[in-house]
């Protein structure tokens, strides 16, 4: 489980078909093969470690649902290690299971993002959304777009500060809303 509180900005060291390498000097030596890491909000498994470079495999499903397929060497990515039970939960419950990509309509700090309409049922004003692995509070929700306010600190320490109009961002909708929908639809049938 993640919280959507980004720990560091990493840098893409290489992209090779279904493998990606990231430079994460701050904690790479503290990671082990098999550990999970959220990369722009996508939960990936560390498969290799070469000094400050961590390698991970990426499956086609992940490329189809996220912006990882457009990454190139030198790109910055948001990185977060999972939380252990008993640790503080500063953001919200984030699984690292990206639902879809959205597009930046208006840059931060008043960030507007468009999304496929079918996901609108999971959004409520003042509810939670994860954008590129960053836990944020929804300010306004429309039929196919939403806004969040991004504070200066978050702009400095995440990729949200450099996202421009038209950029793809990973979206993970609130897992509680998805479970409620499933439960309600099950009871209705």
CA–CA gap between residue 124 and residue 138 (Å, rounded): 7
Side-chain half-sphere of 14: how many Cα atoms within 13 Å? 13
Same fold, 8-80 and 100-188: yes
Number of CB atoms found within 10 A of residue 10's CB? 26
Look at residue 187 and give its three-state secondary structure.
helix
CA–CA gap between residue 75 and residue 87 (Å, rounded): 30
* Dihedral sign, Cα of residue 71, residue 75, residue 76, residue 80: positive
CATH 2.40.30.20, applies to 100-188: yes
Global pTM value: 0.92
pLDDT in tens, 94-151: 889 999 999 999 999 999 999 999 999 999 999 999 999 999 999 999 999 999 999 9
Closest CA to 102 of 36, 41, 20, 157: 41
CA–CA gap between residue 23 and residue 53 (Å, rounded): 4
**Domain boundaries, given as residue ranges, for the chain:** 8-80, 100-188
The answer to whether 154 and 147 have CB atoms below 8 angstroms apart is no
What is the average pLDDT value for the chain, to the nearest integer? 92
Closest CA to 14 of 79, 45, 58: 58
CATH topology of domain 8-80: Elongation Factor Tu (Ef-tu); domain 3 (2.40.30)
CA–CA gap between residue 33 and residue 120 (Å, rounded): 37
Task: Report the pLDDT value the prediction gives residue 177, as an integer from 0 to 100.
Answer: 85
pLDDT band at 176 (very low <50, low <70, confident <90, very high): confident
């Amino acid at each position: 489980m993640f919280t959507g509180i980004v720990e560091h900005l990493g840098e893409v060291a290489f992209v090779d078909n279904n493998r990606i390498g990231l430079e994460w000097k701050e904690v790479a030596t503290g990671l082990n093969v098999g550990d999970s890491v959220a990369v722009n909000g996508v939960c990936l498994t560390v498969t290799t470690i070469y000094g400050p470079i961590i390698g991970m495999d990426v499956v086609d499903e992940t490329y189809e649902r996220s912006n990882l397929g457009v990454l190139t060497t030198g790109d910055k990515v948001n990185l977060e290690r999972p939380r252990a039970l008993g640790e503080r939960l500063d953001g919200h419950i984030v699984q690292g299971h990206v639902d879809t990509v959205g597009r930046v309509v208006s840059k931060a700090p008043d960030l507007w993002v468009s999304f496929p309409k079918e996901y609108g049922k999971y959004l409520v004003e003042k509810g939670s959304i994860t954008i590129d692995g960053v836990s944020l509070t929804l300010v306004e929700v429309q039929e196919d777009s939403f806004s969040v306010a991004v504070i200066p600190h978050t702009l400095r320490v995440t990729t949200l500060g450099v996202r421009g109009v038209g950029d793809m961002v990973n979206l993970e909708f609130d897992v509680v809303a998805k479970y409620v929908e499933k439960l309600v639809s099950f009871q209705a049938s």
